[in-house]
Amino acid sequence: MGVSTRITLPVEGMTCASCQATVQRALRATPGVAQAAVNLMTHEATIVYDPAVLGPERLVAAINDIGYESHLPPPVVDLASEDDERESLQRREYDVLRWKAATSLVIGGFAMVASMPLMGGASSHVPHGGDPLLQWAMTVVDPPVRRALPWLYAVDSGVLAFALLAATLLVMGWAGRHFYTRAWASFRHRTADMNTLIAIGTGAAFLYSLVATVAPALFVADTARPDVYYEAVILIIALVLLGNTMEARAKSQTTSALRQLAKLQPSIARVRRQGREEDVAIATVRAGDLVLVRPGERFPVDGVIQAGSGAVDESMITGESMPVEKGPGDRVIGATVNKAGAFDVEATAVGATSVLARIVTLMKEAQGSQAPIQRLADRVSAVFVPIVILIAIATFAIWMLVPADPSLVRAMTAAVAVLIIACPCAMGLAVPTAVMVASGRGASAGVLIKGGEALERLASIDTVVFDKTGTLTQGSPRVVEVAVEAGITEQELVSTAAAVERLSEHPLAAAIAAFADGRSSGTSGVTPPPAVTGFTAVPGRGARALVDGRSVLIGTASMLGEAGV
């Protein structure tokens, strides 16, 4: 294989581990693909392929051909817009699923109540047999419903049955339509997934109920009750949708750390073009543009300082809490913070080529990576659905052959139950969810984790050793000791220094001011700071001012040495 290219494609329509395994197999079987990892949690596929053999359009077609939906990702304009688009899609998915689940649950509740008269209706001369659940429903649930809704029991049973038929068709055709379309697509491509189980289970119950509604005489002639199970079909779809809704909500929450990382990049940059300064969207900034960054702002792009000097907080990249003094010719990284000074920066890397964008990309790839344990789940998922279908068929056969009085109703109910409860979603979601949560929590704490394999190995670690170049800090400087010379008290020194530093924006100045505030609120009782005049900041070195008529100089050793201190 020649030079490899990596691409991440969205994959819509996956609902379980079997879906994930199906897409993964199809991609890996495509000529020219070296690696393919499908993430069920993020609904994305990360593919490494040879561009000399195939293009990304062929990868999209390979996914669409097996019944799922994919498309080429739009060009990355900037991290904020990409993140907003992803968040908007997740929110829309959650809102649609929540609305469908809630509506289906309400309709299912009404269907359950409306089904009660049918259980003891026109065909009541046909016994319920030995089904304890039905006997319990008729003796415990039916009487209070009959007393509360006498008008419901006065409605013709045929009318009720057809009303339930219409309600079921509404739920199946609207809320649960995607289950059946995706199951059909899987069948056409000789695969099976969770949609297959749902479609077969609810479809069997619906067809059984349809025949009982349209031709009840067929059941009565066979000494069987023409019971309908429309409420079961509706509630099964509603509960699966409820699970999908909870999954969508969890997916949105687990990607919050990634969104916070992406939002570090400013959305607006102040650019000087043709002698004019203007605020423009970050997406319109190009390499070579001159970007102006004021104190307290984040650098919108990677670049080289052309003019200005001051302190830059690079802790988000280096982990070092102490700001770094920068001047002309020094490089700066997008999303780091300008703590002091004003800069003119020539943009050198924007968009997907910036350091922050590459970090976000690596984080997404890490969250989409597979831990070694995931291979076990993939192997099980590959054969899970076919095995469940075989077990359901065997269950139906046993219920028809073993009992002395076989019942088609009980056999069908048992087979449908096997199909519905055998949901592999939890197995498929467990590992990718754990990887996403762990890497997201790490990112929010400033620790970037390369992927699932590193996390799995982390479980066996009992000792962590930091080398001598590593710095473990609390993330901000603070005063730990005060040393005084003869002729000045510690209280006077702290009060005077804090008076000057309160006018400075430097992080060390903030630390001195905070130390003085802490002392004044304690037992030491530092007096209120005196008035300060003539304050002047010396970028990268310190500050000078007049305090009660005396000249005060605070700064680096070299600055103090030049002043004869």
Q: Each residue of 335-357: b (16+ CB within 10 Å) or e? A: bbbbbbbebebebbbbbeebbbb
- CA torsion sign, 305 to 311 to 315 to 319? positive
Residue type, 500: V
Instruction: Give me the count of residues in the chain.
Output: 565
Coil/strand/helix, residue 245: helix
Three-state DSSP at 290 gives: strand
Assess contact for 146 and 153: CB atoms under 8 A. yes
How many CB atoms neighbour CB 535 within 10 A? Answer: 17
316 close to 339: Cβ distance less than 8 angstroms: no
Catalytic residues: 467
**What does the alpha-carbon distance between residue 538 and residue 293 come to, in Å, rounded to a whole number?**
18
Which parts of 138-193 fold into alpha helices (H)?
Answer: 142-148, 150-154, 157-170, 177-188
User: From CA 384, how far away is CA 17, in angstroms rounded?
Assistant: 9
Would you say 432 and 39 are in contact if contact means Cβ atoms under 8 Å apart? yes
CB 262 within 8 Å of CB 360: yes
Question: What span, in angstroms and rounded, lies between the C-alpha atoms of 546 and 341?
Answer: 22
Give the span between the Cα atoms of 539 and 342, in whole angstroms.
10
Question: Which residues are CB-contacts of 544 (< 8 A; sequence separation ≥ 6)?
Answer: 500, 534, 535, 536, 538, 551, 552, 553, 554, 555
The residue whose two tokens read 């199909």 is 419
Q: How far apart are CA 44 and CA 63, in angstroms?
A: 11
Q: What is d(CA 415, CA 201) in angstroms, rounded to the nearest whole number?
A: 8
